[in-house]
Structure 1
Amino acid sequence: MNTRIVLCQTSFWNVKSPPYTLAMLTGALRSKGFVVVPRDYDLEFHLWAPPEDRHLWTDAWVPFWMDADKVTELVREKFQDFIDWCARDALSHTPDVVGFSTKITTGTTARLVAERIKQLNPKVKVLFGGPEMWDGVEKYLTPYPYIDAICRQEADVSFPNFMIKYENAGGVFQPEPGWAYRGADGMITDCGEILQGPGVEDIPLADYSDFDFTRYQEPNTLTLLLSRGCINRCSFCTEAPAFLKYRYYEGRRIHDEILHQLKTSNVARPVRVAFNDSLLNGNLAALEHFADLVLETPIPGGMKFGGMMLVRKHMSDALMHKLARAGLDNILLGMESGSDVVIAAMRKKFDLNEARRIIRAADDAGIFLVLSIIFGHPGETELEFHKTVSFLMEMEPHVDVFLLNVLQIYAQSYLGANPQKYGIDFAGPEGWQSDDGGNTQEIRKRRQAVARALLGKKARDYGNFDPAFTLPTITTAQGGYALGRVIDFSNKADGGSFVGVGWSEGEDWGRWSDGDQASLSIPVPAQTGGDLILRFEGDAYVGGHKPTLKVRVEICGEMLGEWFFRESDIDRQSQGFWTRETRIPAALVEGRRQVDVVFHIDAPVAPSSHHASDDSRRLGIGLRRLRLSAEGPRLH
């Protein structure tokens, strides 16, 4: 093949790790012989921007990137030179075709770069694809003449097919299901939908070989897919039309692809695999087989993984624990409601008792759990809303983060296509309301605000919360800690609210101590009912430079224990973390409102002192998770 293709990812997307879509399309197109150059302009933009503007790449600014007028204004005022640089950089690779991966947060910057490319070289063909293209003929192809074609479905197979036909026809677009294009006469040809998705066996491996993982914020994070589509068809889902039927990789394929990516990319170890599927547990047999393979043949350097899950009755507690042993350490559970009535209206297929069991099983297995909730679905009356709030408060000790959303309705969803069935007046994604006036945008935002106040630091909203509805935060257990809850000290959780002096900033796994002492303060009830157990899970900076680390544990002014960490310890967990515990006598904490913990580190060492790296922190213990409880289950 002679056609040269540049693939572009623009802002805002993800500067933590390389974009999977570009890697996936690179692999698919190269497997057919095309010359492909992937370019992550989102990462380049983040590095280009001055430090005072880099907050724009945080989750709180997602709504900003969804506003085309605000993004365009920002670019015109401050970053037009960057847009010009992107266009010239893409053209420097002498492409025949430039493709853009577009999402709701990237469409505006993609258009600005595409427009500049066409100004500089009108002969280059510009293609757009991604979730934004379901109605791309109306939103992109028709109004913007600098876009030549759009792909709305199954790009990993249909994009190579479209390009093969293009090349065979001498550089002229030809019909391909899932595509629409502008002809030489300016007329638009819509090729219709793909009626049956390809089998996953036809999809080549993603190709990350062009990406330098060291330039990203999380150089050990590798994004992959283990399936296509979803076994459900939720009422609000916008992905189902694009992915057609559910298809999944067998466990062996998943295991082999991870090994392949470790060999062909410079992703750091231990690798963290982020499965970016609609759901991780769509095929439980394949998922369990993958876990078995990992336990039988561990991933070199170690592995953690996570992704989105549904509540499924066949997801047993035993399987949850096996997955945790294989490296599963984070789940986003898409419940969306704590009301049986609303769950049924959403077209979901589970009951709340199964949800309770799975949430507790994940907590008991030591898995970081994010629970996703959507407020305002048709059928959510005040009574059903209160049922959801009651469920959330019941599950609060077992959940690490609550992701609180208000319902947005898009035309391609089942709700958007059937507004009369649900009794709603569809006036755009956010402005819709029920015919009886009982479900309005204001009501939905107020419900989100109530849950946000009740859940306090565990609540997340990705910037879609309206400050006008702010309520005072309500905390539990006299300060936000309920006995028995696992505290996660990574940068994804609320553990930072418990740390005192002597700690570094949180990282994706936890945080290091820095210096001779590191302290914690944990609020507790005045009556604990007996002795408490402090359970620690984490790392220790030991090795050839320091084979043994001694840590003395002081609690409420009393030395209660000594922990030793040795490089050769046989009790070290397979995933690279130690567990330790110390008993706290009831008499020591009786009547106290707070347990103060001080770790005394014996001779901490800076990696720079023995040329391991340029890190000058004096490292001792790495605190991943901690639990303060009465007698009960261990962290694992």
Structure 2
Amino acid sequence: MSEKVALINCPMWDVEFPPYNIALIRSVLRKNNFESDCFDLNRDFYASVPGEQHLWSLSDIYAFWQSKEEVGKLILRHKTVIDGFLLQLEPYDILGFTLQSLNFTFTLILIKAIRKVSPHKIILAGGPECFRNFNPEYLMQCACFDALCYGEAEEALPELLYKTRQRRTWKTPGFFIKEDQNYIDCAPAHLVENLDNLPFADFSFLKKDTERICVSTSRGCIGNCSFCHEKGHWDAFRYRSAGSVVEEISLLKERFPFLRFVYLNDSLINGNTEEFSRFCELMIRKKLGINWGGHMLIRKEMTKGFLKEMKQAGAERLNFGVESGSNQVLQLMRKAFRREDALRILADTKRAGISFSVNFVIGHPGENAEEFEETRRFLVRIRQLTDCVHINPCYVLRGSELYSNHKKWGIVLPENYVTDWFLSDGSNNPQIRMERVRQLLRDG
């Protein structure tokens, strides 16, 4: 069998930036003497459906992109585009899909179409949607995959491909392997302990005039927010050295002379404040002319001087997960700050000349009318500081504390639990959450 591998990212994802994960895996495979190509079908599909591009910026984005009915109708409306994708993938014997919560449904529908025309292709999957513990019902949805990588793929995937090359048994640590319609857990793979040992991502599939790109500086999160599943994805928080990150950005600037912005593609970029400060120092010293941004925690160590240094280093677009204006709700969310800390840091970030957006999660268990009003008043105070406020209803995501211990929280999980969960006492349901979201949007 040929070893030609296609690495594929399906809608929906941020079209502004190319997918970092498949670019990194491509580099890993090249290092292990496997040929592969990257296909950013998310960007390709977006460009091919101008009348549908609003779907990438819906206020309730999960409700659409996780709906089999809605995504199925979208694909049917653009069957010729999908047929073009199938033609592009025809020469490849092994297809590797990256899965996350917003592209899972589209990917499954596309794979079913691939199976109809090419039933003998080997189809693999990895990514955040595969990181969680699988249950039988969930696995049944994935029956179109031959193997699922449920951890880090940098060591596991080359080993599986070597076994494919040698026609040996597929059993490889880090994978669920399909045998007779069942999946066998081949035991966890080893974590990459030193991220500096990984090769730099291979973005050679991008055009020379690329202006925006992604780089990863860490894995995992030091937080443990109740509504978030990031903590369950990674066994430990690890970070790259500042020198390694800046070297990669320098090489990207050489390859893409029009590059002007790097998105630091992490759960958070200031998990290790000492190394992050070192990154800022090196960016100032190198004078690369590159701006950057990413997700940041509200941390009390973020002084006015620290924020000014970030601005000098190229900080341009940050995103803060504030989530609530109620200290009681912040405590329930297991946030390590109070609204007073958030207000100070947001004001100081504005004074430093750094643009930023903030995220709010509305309808977390424990947010009643009084706590919601506190959030409304807090939002009035910060709207003049921030460039954008992202307001989302509280979702219950697989792997989060709210999901894993839903009974403790009084949460009832119906079939479409991500968006339709409710509290058993009737104090919180989808209608209440969406009405609060609409109120805040009207206020803005």
After TM superposition, the score normalised by the length of structure 2 is 0.92
1:108 pairs with 2:95? no
Q: Is the 8 A contact 2:8 2:96 kept in 1?
A: yes
Residue 282 of structure 1: aligned partner = 271
Amino acid at match of 1:181: I
- Any idea what SS the aligned residue of 1:287 has? helix
Residue 182 of structure 1: aligned partner = 178
Cα distance in 1 for partners of 2:386, 2:55 equals 28
- Any idea what SS the aligned residue of 1:108 has? helix
Residue 450 of structure 1: aligned partner = 439
More off after superposition, 339-348 vs 2-11 = 2-11
Match of 1:126 among 107, 123, 130: 123
Aligned residues: 440
Which structure 2 residues correspond to residues 314-353 of structure 1 after superposition, within 5 A? Answer: 314-353=301-340
Residue 351 of structure 2: aligned partner = 364
Deviation string, structure 1 residues 518-556 (Cα, Å, up to 9, x no partner): xxxxxxxxxxxxxxxxxxxxxxxxxxxxxxxxxxxxxxx
- Any idea what SS the aligned residue of 2:420 has? coil
Cα distance in 1 for partners of 2:140, 2:406 equals 26
Cα distance in 1 for partners of 2:282, 2:410 equals 49
Amino acid at match of 1:182: K
C-alpha deviation, 1:327, in angstroms: 0.7
1:149 pairs with 2:140? no
Q: Is the 8 A contact 2:2 2:93 kept in 1?
A: no
Which structure 2 residues correspond to residues 162-561 of structure 1 after superposition, within 5 A? Answer: 162-168=160-166, 170=167, 172-177=169-174, 179-183=175-179, 185-194=180-189, 196=191, 198-212=193-207, 214=209, 219-264=210-255, 266=256, 268-269=258-259, 271-299=260-288, 302-427=289-414, 428-454=417-443, 456=444
Residue 52 of structure 1: aligned partner = 51
Cα distance in 2 for partners of 1:139, 1:13 equals 25
C-alpha deviation, 1:180, in angstroms: 0.7
1:344 and 1:57, CA in 2 relative to 1: closer, same or farther beyond 3 A? closer
C-alpha deviation, 1:111, in angstroms: 2.2
C-alpha deviation, 1:197, in angstroms: 5.3
Amino acid at match of 2:68: A
Cα distance in 2 for partners of 1:151, 1:267 equals 35
Deviation string, structure 1 residues 108-161 (Cα, Å, up to 9, x no partner): 332233223333333320012222223566466534543211122223443233
C-alpha deviation, 1:298, in angstroms: 0.9
C-alpha deviation, 1:399, in angstroms: 2.0
C-alpha deviation, 1:379, in angstroms: 1.5
Residue 29 of structure 2: aligned partner = 29
Deviation string, structure 1 residues 137-194 (Cα, Å, up to 9, x no partner): 64665345432111222234432333334434x15411312x21213x4432123445
Residue 43 of structure 1: aligned partner = 43
Match of 1:159 among 142, 157, 160: 157
Match of 2:114 among 114, 117, 138: 117
Q: Is the 8 A contact 1:137 1:150 kept in 2?
A: no
- Any idea what SS the aligned residue of 1:312 has? coil
CA RMSD, Structure 1 to Structure 2 (Å): 2.3
Structure with the largest fraction of strand: 1
C-alpha deviation, 1:56, in angstroms: 3.8
- Any idea what SS the aligned residue of 2:353 has? coil
Q: Highest relative contact order (Cα 8 Å, sep 6+), 1 or 2?
A: 2
Q: Percent identity?
A: 29
Q: Is the 8 A contact 1:373 1:404 kept in 2?
A: yes
C-alpha deviation, 1:213, in angstroms: 5.7
Amino acid at match of 1:84: D
Structure 1 runs (4+) greater than 6 angstroms displaced: none
Amino acid at match of 2:311: A
Cα distance in 2 for partners of 1:232, 1:139 equals 30
C-alpha deviation, 1:398, in angstroms: 1.7
Cα distance in 1 for partners of 2:60, 2:429 equals 24
Q: Is the 8 A contact 2:292 2:317 kept in 1?
A: yes
C-alpha deviation, 1:400, in angstroms: 2.1
- Any idea what SS the aligned residue of 1:361 has? helix
Structure with the largest fraction of helix: 2
- Any idea what SS the aligned residue of 2:21 has? helix
C-alpha deviation, 1:58, in angstroms: 4.0
Q: Please tell me whether Structure 1 or Structure 2 has the larger radius of gyration of its CA atoms.
A: 1
Cα distance in 1 for partners of 2:421, 2:106 equals 27
After TM superposition, the score normalised by the length of structure 1 is 0.65
Amino acid at match of 1:296: R
- Any idea what SS the aligned residue of 2:292 has? strand
Deviation string, structure 1 residues 252-281 (Cα, Å, up to 9, x no partner): 1110010122234x3623x20111211111
1:137 and 1:439, CA in 2 relative to 1: closer, same or farther beyond 3 A? closer
Which structure 2 residues correspond to residues 593-604 of structure 1 after superposition, within 5 A? Answer: none
- Any idea what SS the aligned residue of 1:17 has? coil
Amino acid at match of 2:439: V
Cα distance in 2 for partners of 1:444, 1:55 equals 23
1:430 and 1:441, CA in 2 relative to 1: closer, same or farther beyond 3 A? same
Cα distance in 1 for partners of 2:383, 2:141 equals 48
Amino acid at match of 2:434: K
